Structures are given as structure tokens and as C-alpha cells.
A and B are shown apart, each in its own frame.
Chain A
Amino acid sequence: MVGRIHVVDDDASFRTAIERRLKLAGYQVATYPTAQQLLDRLPDENEPSCILLDVRIPGLSGPELQGRLNELGSTLPIVFLTGHADTPTTVRTIKAGAEDFLTKPVGSEQLLGAIERAMARHAAVRGERHRLEEMRALVAGLTPRERQVFALVVRGKLNKQIAHELGTTERTIKAHRHQVMEKMKVQSLAELVTLADRLGVLG
């Protein structure tokens, strides 16, 4: 699995060592001696990537960077790696969405495992979001009348009821319903209901 790892650590020696190791594992590596430098060049969210972040860095600290990235809506997975882990910091960062919290010295297997897991999760999140966006695009393709029909169909209303509710004929509704199924690229009503659930149309 390829991807880009962003290493933020003030220790030059450690940056070199970890870069070497990660490259050997097949990753692309970008290193930053300070948190600010990463903020200045925000990594591309859409490529598989992970941030390897030290807790104690002069200037902006690791947890602070995490907060800023969250504020910016970043979904980049963050694995913390620190020389000394104290419980409050660990809890705070995990709560704030860190993928993992590792303590130096860390074995390669453990580190790579953590990175892989983080990236896999990130990939899953990314895939999910991608599908949702697709679905939203489909919904956007519906006419207002079709959208009304869609909303009522997924709530289990019969054509007759919908026609009555919208003040039109059952036949017209039938045609709209066919259009909706077509535009939303589903074969069955069950599929349409699931889709509506994921889009939050139900609720």
C-alpha cells in the first residue's frame, strides 16, 4: 500500500531515521521540523496519507497542531509518537481523534502497523465520503417534484397516497417514481430506502 507520510518532529536524527525506514517500507515521506511548516503547506487530503506527529515540538506542539487541523476540517489520520507519554496528553489526543499514540523507542512493526491501520481507516472514510458525494450528486439531478416523490416513496407511501397528497394522478406519480429509480440508479425500492437512510433523507 502506497501513501505519503508526513513526519513532524524537531529531532533531525529521528526524522532521518524514520524517513529511511518508511521509504524502505515503500512510503513517500515528507518531513517537517516544526508544526507550523505543515500548516503552511497543508497536505492533499485525497491521496492516501498519514501524519506522524511528535508531542513536544518547540513552538506549536503536536496536540495543538491536531486541534488546528480539526478546525480546518482535515481528515488526515494522525499517529502520535512521543518520547514520553503522559496520561492526560494521551487521552486528550485520542479524544480529539488521533489514530494511535506510540512511545519512542518504537519497533518498526508496531509503527508500520499503526500507520497502515490509520491509512486503511482513512481510505475507508474517504471511500464512504466519495459514495455519499456521488449519491448527493444523484439527488441533485432530481426535479423538485421528483424529490417530493422520492421523499414520500422511501417513507413507504403508496402511489395512490402520494398522488392524493400531491394532488395529482396516480399515473403521474408512477411515472415520477420510475424517473427517480432511474436517476438514483437503483433497481429496487429497498435499495432506494437504504440510500435515503444514508443520505439522511429519513429522519
Chain B
Amino acid sequence: MIKTVSLRGLIVGLVALLAPVSVSAQETRPHSVLVLDQSDGGTFYFQLLSGLRDVVATHDDAHVTLYSESLDLSRFGGPAFEEGLKRYLKEKYQDTPIGAVVTVGAATTDMVLKWRAELWPGLPIVFAMLDEMDFARIKSPPDVTGVIVQLPLADEIKVARAVVPDLDTIALVGDTWDGLVVYRNWGGEVASAAAGLKVIEIVGQKLSDIRKQVAELPARSAIIYSAVFSDGEGKYYLPSIALGLIAEKANRPIVVAAETFLGPGGIGGYVLLPRKIGEEAAKLTLRILDGARAAEIPPVYGGVKPIFNWQQMQRWNVSESSLPDGSEIRFREPTFIEKYRWQSMAIMAALLIQAGLIAFLLHERHLRRDAEVESRNRMSELAHVNRNATAGELSSSIAHELNQPLGSILTNAETAELILKSDNPDLGEIREILADIKRDDQRAGEVIRRLRAFLKRTPFETKDVDLNEIMNEAFKFLSVQASARNVALYLQTAPGTLRIKGDPVQLQQVVLNLVVNSMDAMAAIPYGRTVIGRTELNGGSTVEISISDSGPGVPPDKLAQVFDPFYTTKDQGMGIGLSIARTIILAHNGQIWAENQSGGGAAFHFTLPLAA
């Protein structure tokens, strides 16, 4: 095996001498790599190896074969073990051409360097993950290069200060420093790096004890976790699992130094990126396999980055701004929108459409409102015209009602004048006369007020009104007209008040229109002209008003038409009285209908909702 390799090396050397430099360096070394790691098979090493494997697999020029061995150096050791291991490797790879050895971790590197002369003389070694102190310790042997990680304890303490601003204590949790393979150099660094801080070392203890202690740490402290592999009594753990168990109990944030510790409960820190380390080591290895000399490739630095666990940051109330520059944050809980992108877009779209629809409907509603207001105004105007017409029809009644008190006043005034002219005026009578004059004047004023209210051009307005009062007033207004037209007018009101919401003037107008209509209908009959007005409660929620007459009634086929505009049977009628009555009642959320009474005559009914 060794012969073969050296022979090959000789041939390569010859070829290199004979051929110009530009000749491809391919086939200078066997395209196979032996990866030795100190791993126990945990996640960290798995990631490192897969990073390495992925880069190697992308090597297009020639296929590279990977052999790998997990040496489990964190759990096993001792001269006998090492000797056996050496023998095992020697025998196993005796006939296998190897182009380079990749060593993962300081312990493996140390061992391979020790065995190289015997097992793989002259074979280049690419170390993955040596810290600076270890690199210094191996004193750059020939044909060795690799990836140096800078992971001083000082950096993690810096992180601890960032996480706990008023930090005064750090708790170092892990195996004994000597038992550690990656973080063992921290042991010697504690004194200098943690200067000014109280240090609680929870190292090399049973996991159950660790869990107890981390639950009772002082307030201004942080835990710095290296790794726990064993409880010192023969129980072994994967350090990430151990961290999970510790984090469960810990009462303080845990600063960690490996990417794989972020998930199980570490808040973060300068962490080793196993995948990145593997990739870097692979790149160096490929260069060597392709012909570069290991001695000419300086070691690269990298594989460490400040990374933090967002959820832990939330838990310990750590703000992003206090973290070291260039920090990356993992496990950031995606916002709802990030999490349910399509769903939320759909919801947003639905909301937008809905909002648009609502806006559209509001606009429609607004237009409808305007139209309603407009139509109501029109109705009010028409009602006003109708009232003017009604007032014209009733003008004789109005004149009579006015002249009655005016006549009394004039007569009384003249009488008083005469009395005062007499030699012995009767002042008592003068007083009576003056009182009468005053009363009659008020009466006349009341007529004018009623008339003005009736003729006022008012917009539709609702008030709390008593329907009985409206009926009384309307019938008073009509009484003179009725007697002039020889119509007996009766009003039967329901006891008490009938509170409704409505426009008093317009409701009065409805009553006037209906009664005048009835009186007109009876103009042709010789005697027995009667109009009866009635108000009654119709259940608890509406009031029904009826105006019935003793006229000829409405032809049955016209009952539905009588409320139509311009429907009239009168010579001088406009046909708007009943139509306006209906419009007004509908605007008051009421109903109006006509029917013929069984005993003859027509009856007009309308209902209005009672005020709540």
C-alpha cells in the first residue's frame, strides 16, 4: 500500500517534471478521502459531514470517494484504545488508496498527526475545526492545512453581557474541561475572560445536579454552556439533548457555542457552524486532491458566527439591537402573514372586495337617502299644495270661524263705547265686556294660528303627537263646513292618548282629506249625511283610524284605485286628496285602505304604529 502510494507519487513527480506546469493536475492524487471525526454520531458532526459530503459531491471533474470513521473520542480514550484504533485503521485501509485525510476536531488531529508517519506517510491532512490555541500547539507540521475556528470564551461572555445587560455572574455548565474535545481551551481562559464577574462552575457533575443548580441561579446571571456528554457515572448524552434537559430547568438564559444548541434551548452566542466548517474543509481537500500542495494552502478562518434564537430572546426580553454586529436571528416566529401567505392574501382580497362592496353599498344607500329626502320634499310640497286647495275649499268655514269672534268683538266694543258715553256708566258691565273681547280675540287668534300651521310649507318632521288630539282639532276645523253642508259629524276617540311619531300637520291633512272626500261623496244624497271618525287601539302596537260615511260607497272594482293620483269622480276634483293621504300614511310606516260598509257607505281606514 505504501509502496503503491510512493510509486504513484514518484510517477506524479516525474510527470510533473516532464510536463509543463499548465498540464492538468488531475489524477495527481487518488480521488478518495478519509474523514476521521471524533464524533459520537450527534447532530453537530452529522451536519459537518454532510456539509463536507455535499461540496465533495459537486466536484464535477472526477468522482471523489469518501470514507469516514467516527472515533467517538469524547467517550473513549486511553493508550490501549488508541493502539487498537490505530491497528484497526491500518488494517482496514491497507489496500485502499487515500488522497487526503480530513480530521475533525483537535483530538483527532492530534492522533492522526501522531500516526501519520506510520499509517499514511506524506499524506496531506486537512483539519476541520481547530481553534487558534490548538493550531498553535501543533506547530504547523508539513502538509497540514485546515479550518481554524476562533471561539474564545471571551466572545461568549460578551454575548452574555449583551443578553443580560447588568450581568454580574456567569455559570459555566459542561463536562470537565479536560473531558471536552471542542471547548477544552475555555478552561484556561476563564480567569482572564471572566474578570470582574462572579463565576459559578457547574462542570463535570451529574446531570440531575446540574438541573438542580441551574434552577437556582442568581438574578443577574447567564449560563454559558459548553457541552455535557456524560454525567461522570457512565451515562452519556448527546450534548444537545443534555442541553434540552438543562434548559428545561434553567432560570437564566443559556449562551451556547454551537449551531446545534440553538434549537434545544440556547439563547445563542458565537456558535460553530458545523455545515460551514465541513464545506470549508471539503473545499481545501478538493484543492489538494486536484494537485495543490497542502503546505501552500494557508489555513482558513471561519465557521463561527453570532446566531441567536428569537424565541429565547422573546423569553428573556432581549432586543435585537443589543446583539453583536452581524448577528443572525433564527426561529423567528413567522408573522401570521408569513405563515399563511396564500390564506392571508385570500383573506385580504376578500376583505378588500368586501370593503369595496360596503363602500359601494354605502354609496347606494347615500343615493337612496338623497332620493328619499328628495321624494319626501316633493311629497311635502305636493301636500302643501293640497292643503292650500283644501283651505280654499274650506275658506267659507275659515271666514265664518274668524268673523264669529270678530263680530262679537265689534259689537262688544261699540256697546262699551255707548255705556261709557252715558251719564252713569256701569263699570261692572264694561269689565265683563272687556273680558269677552279678550276671549274672542284669543279665539280669532287661535283660528289664525291653526290656519297658518296648516298652510305652513314645512319639511316633513316627526314629533311625538297624540292622534286623538289631531283628530279633535281636524274635526273642529271641519265642523262649520259640515254644518254648512248639512253633514252630521261625529268623532269617537279611544280613551286616553294615542302616542305616535309623526308630522302633525300632515296627519291632520289626511283626516281633512278623508272627511272632505266623504262629504263630497254625500253631496247628492238628500238627507241623513253622516261622517263618523273613530280612533281605536289595534292590538298593542298600532292604532287604527276610520272615517266612515253614509254616502253611496265606492264601486267595488274601484276600491283599489281610489288612492291613485288623479283618480277622481268629482267634476272639480284634482284627484290628489286621497293619493296624498296615502303618500303621507306610507311615509309614517302606516297602511291605508278603503272598503264599503255592509250597511252602506264607504269607510276609509288607516293604521299607524304607536310610539314605543
Contact call B419/A105, Cβ cutoff below 8 A: no
Report the nearest A residue to B396, measured CB to CB. A84
Q: Is B587 an interface residue (CB 8 A)?
A: no
Check A83/B410 contact, CB under 8 A, given A13-B436, A20-B433: no
CA distance A103 to B433 in the complex (A): 22
Q: Is A196 an interface residue (CB 8 A)?
A: no
Contact call B407/A107, Cβ cutoff below 8 A: no
Nearest-CB distance from B406 to chain A (Å)? Answer: 4
Contact call A14/B407, Cβ cutoff below 8 A: yes
Contact call A105/B483, Cβ cutoff below 8 A: no
Residues in A76-115 with C-beta less than 8 Å from chain B: 81-84, 86, 103-108, 111
Residues in B486-541 with C-beta less than 8 Å from chain A: 486
Q: Which of A13, A24, A57, A86 has the most C-beta atoms of chain B within 10 angstroms of its own C-beta?
A: A13
Q: Is A61 an interface residue (CB 8 A)?
A: yes
CA distance A90 to B484 in the complex (A): 14
Nearest-CB distance from B530 to chain A (Å)? Answer: 13
Report the nearest B residue to A59, measured CB to CB. B483
Report the nearest A residue to B410, measured CB to CB. A105
Chain A residue numbers with a CB within 8 Å of B483 are 56-58, 61
Q: Is A17 an interface residue (CB 8 A)?
A: yes
Q: Is B440 an interface residue (CB 8 A)?
A: yes
Check A11/B404 contact, CB under 8 A, given A24-B418, A61-B483, A84-B399: yes
Contact call B401/A13, Cβ cutoff below 8 A: no
Q: Is A120 an interface residue (CB 8 A)?
A: no
Q: Is B411 an interface residue (CB 8 A)?
A: yes
Chain A residue numbers with a CB within 8 Å of B419 are 24
The tally of residues in A whose CB lies under 8 Å from a CB in B reads 25
Cβ-neighbour of A82 out of B400, B406, B415, B418 (below 8 A): B400
Interface size bucket, B side? 20 to 34
Q: Is A69 an interface residue (CB 8 A)?
A: no
Q: Is B439 an interface residue (CB 8 A)?
A: yes
Q: Is B52 an interface residue (CB 8 A)?
A: no
Query: Using an 8 Å CB-CB cutoff, how does the interface string of B66-94 with A read, 1 for contact, 0 for none?
Result: 00000000000000000000000000000
Contact call B412/A20, Cβ cutoff below 8 A: yes
Cβ-neighbour of B486 out of A61, A104, A108 (below 8 A): A61
Check A106/B407 contact, CB under 8 A, given A13-B439, A17-B412, A21-B415: yes
Q: Is A75 an interface residue (CB 8 A)?
A: no
Contact call B486/A24, Cβ cutoff below 8 A: no
Q: Is B178 an interface residue (CB 8 A)?
A: no
CA distance A111 to B412 in the complex (A): 13
Check A56/B415 contact, CB under 8 A, given A13-B440, A14-B404, A61-B486: no
Q: Is A16 an interface residue (CB 8 A)?
A: yes
Q: Which of A61, A82, A83 has the most C-beta atoms of chain B within 10 angstroms of its own C-beta?
A: A83
Chain A residue numbers with a CB within 8 Å of B396 are 84, 86
Contact call A13/B408, Cβ cutoff below 8 A: yes
Q: Is B344 an interface residue (CB 8 A)?
A: no
Contact call B404/A104, Cβ cutoff below 8 A: yes
Nearest-CB distance from B572 to chain A (Å)? Answer: 16
Report the nearest B residue to A15, measured CB to CB. B408
Cβ-neighbour of B410 out of A13, A61, A107 (below 8 A): A107
Contact call B403/A16, Cβ cutoff below 8 A: no
CA distance A11 to B409 in the complex (A): 13
Report the nearest A residue to B481, measured CB to CB. A56
Q: Is A18 an interface residue (CB 8 A)?
A: yes
Chain B residue numbers with a CB within 8 Å of A11 are 404, 408
Query: Using an 8 Å CB-CB cutoff, how does the interface string of A12-44 with B read, 1 for contact, 0 for none?
Result: 011011101100100000000000000000000
Give the 4 A-B residue pairs with the shortest CB-CB distance, closest first.
A104-B407, A83-B400, A83-B403, A105-B410
17 contacting pairs across A/B (C-beta < 8 A):
A11-B408, A14-B404, A14-B407, A14-B411, A16-B408, A17-B407, A17-B436, A18-B411, A20-B429, A20-B433, A83-B407, A103-B403, A104-B403, A105-B403, A106-B410, A108-B411, A108-B418
